[in-house]
Chain A
């Protein structure tokens, strides 16, 4: 709940950060998107529920910082055929809530709906997202992003763009 003016400012800053992250992903601006992450980053897209243990069970994506970099370099290689031609994407990030703070880190949750158009057809990807943001200068860095797809217990099509 936003109780004070300071919280209201924080919420505005957080929203702007999440919207920018969403736009960079939609527009395949991979290098700018990679810049958002901290060195201790985790990018996690679980499978088979929201709370599986990624250290023990399969996840759709479970990237540390170096694997995020690899993912981006693959997309930039010009030979990532599943994204050549690229998916056309637009997403809505909404229902944003501030969940709490831990030191310099801020925990945020949101819902996301991505519309993807590709050669295969049109796909809608709905998810509950959790973010951990860290203050960096005037803005934030992304420490952790978890994307729990609503249908992650079912068979899903290739999802090779940045979700």
Chain B
């Protein structure tokens, strides 16, 4: 460990095609990341469907900070700090629930579902206290895109739309897979802890080079069509949307197959209800296109990953400790599709998943690898020579190229260099 006495020279640690291992290992850098990334940029917190009714709440986090995502009586979603404004006690200890108020058990201060201070015990002990100044702390900026709720601790800065940029379209694509145009998060989360830096997870989500090897065990025994998507001959693309958002665009492969629901490893006869609802909602021609393209494989910086059928949220706990929260995407108006989504998700992800147990093994081994730091470079140069721009001007390259990592680090550097 090299704990630094001064701000690091980011340009010496992050080159276009390589980065220093200290970035994954140094606790001082992790502290700087909290300040310059987690407590500044837009961070995904939760989905509106997790708090459908007035006074519903769920506990969430931004960086290390505990957050209550709560829906007020007026229907608005609030991101409140889970800390009593009296002496700092945790106000809400329960993962989820419905309550018009949160009463701190320490001295019975109570707060509304919108965070306002409603009252406290023995009020004669306070003279002239302005309750409006003692409401729960709140994340200064809250914004929602297609039901995905993000928070930013910076009171000023780019809007959520500006932050998402071209990647917003990938969330539109997620919603298109629903005949009613939206998703719901209703199946609970698996919480998978790993002894690894959060950026190993972030980068792996859109690394198309590893599946053929890390997941060869399941590809070799299951009837899976995933393997070919990440082969040397794949026509799928890696894409850098800017602002750290990255994608593996599998549509070229699915369009080549030209088969409805092939992206999900199934056929229309297995999901007749879903197919007819999609046809009714979008018309047969458009529905066919949507059902051939499938959902995206996109990593929204720094912590929201949509992996076709499931959603992951990356939570950092420390420089070498992280949690992956994961659940099946549930598409409004698609019960038969959703059932399969849940079954496939349970098989593939979480602590015992056919895929994620091996990914997580790699995160932990790579973290241990970082302890050997004589040269200390992590090399990310794959496919630099064959990068090109797509019709929208975004950098794309072969499915197995390290365009996503390079894009993530470029954005990371720009954030860390901000004063």
Give chain A's interface residues, CB within 8 Å of chain B: 45, 47-48, 52, 55-63, 67, 70-71, 73-74, 77-82, 119-121, 153-160, 163
Contacts and interface: CB of A to CB of B under 8 A. Distances in A.
Contact of A70 (B186, B193, B343, B354): B354
Given A47-B350, A60-B351, 14 more contacts: A47-B191, A57-B342, A58-B327, A70-B218, A74-B217, A74-B218, A81-B214, A119-B368, A155-B323, A156-B351, A158-B351, A158-B357, A158-B361, A159-B357
Given A47-B350, A58-B350, A60-B351, A160 B357 contact: yes
A58 B327 CA distance: 7
Contact of A157 (B188, B193, B368): B193
Given A81-B217, A159-B352, A120 B195 contact: yes
B415 interface: no
Nearest to B216: A79
| Count class of interface residues, chain B | 35 or more
B221 A52 contact: no
Contacts of B190: 47, 58, 60
B253 interface: no
A111 B272 CA distance: 44
Contact of A156 (B191, B346, B364, B365): B191
Interface of B: 95, 186-195, 214, 216-218, 220-222, 323, 326-328, 339, 342-343, 345-347, 350-352, 354, 357-358, 360-362, 364-365, 368
Contacts of B186: 56
Interface of A is mostly: loop
For A47, A62, A81, which residue has the most chain B Cβ atoms within 10 angstroms? Answer: A81
Contacts of A156: 191-193, 351
Contacts of A56: 186-187, 342
Most chain B CB within a 10 A radius of its CB, from A60, A62, A81, A155: A155
A57 B360 contact: no
A59 B348 CA distance: 11
B354 A47 contact: no
13 contacts: A52-B188, A56-B342, A58-B346, A58-B350, A77-B216, A77-B217, A77-B220, A81-B358, A82-B361, A154-B191, A157-B194, A158-B194, A159-B357
A6 B342 CA distance: 44
The 5 closest A-B pairs by CB, nearest first: A155-B191, A79-B217, A82-B361, A155-B193, A73-B221
A61 B188 contact: no
A155 to B, nearest CB: 4
B303 to A, nearest CB: 15
Contacts of B358: 80-82
Contacts of B187: 56-58
A154 B165 CA distance: 34
Contacts of B217: 74, 77-81
Contacts of A81: 214, 217, 358, 361-362
A60 B188 CA distance: 11
Nearest to A62: B346
B364 A58 contact: no
Contacts of A82: 357-358, 360-361
Contacts of A80: 217, 358
B352 A160 contact: yes
B342 A58 contact: yes
Contact of B354 (A60, A74, A158): A74
Contacts of A155: 191-193, 323
Contacts of A154: 191
Contacts of A52: 188
Most-contacted residue by chain A among B343, B352, B360 (CB, 10 A): B352
Given A47-B188, A80-B358, A156-B192, A61 B346 contact: yes
Contact of B347 (A47, A67, A73, A121): A67
A158 to B, nearest CB: 5
A119 B221 contact: no
A82 B352 CA distance: 10
Residue picked from A80, A81, A158, most chain B C-beta under 10 Å: A158
A79 B216 CA distance: 7
A156 B190 CA distance: 9
A154 B190 CA distance: 9
Contacts of A159: 351-352, 357
Nearest to B343: A62
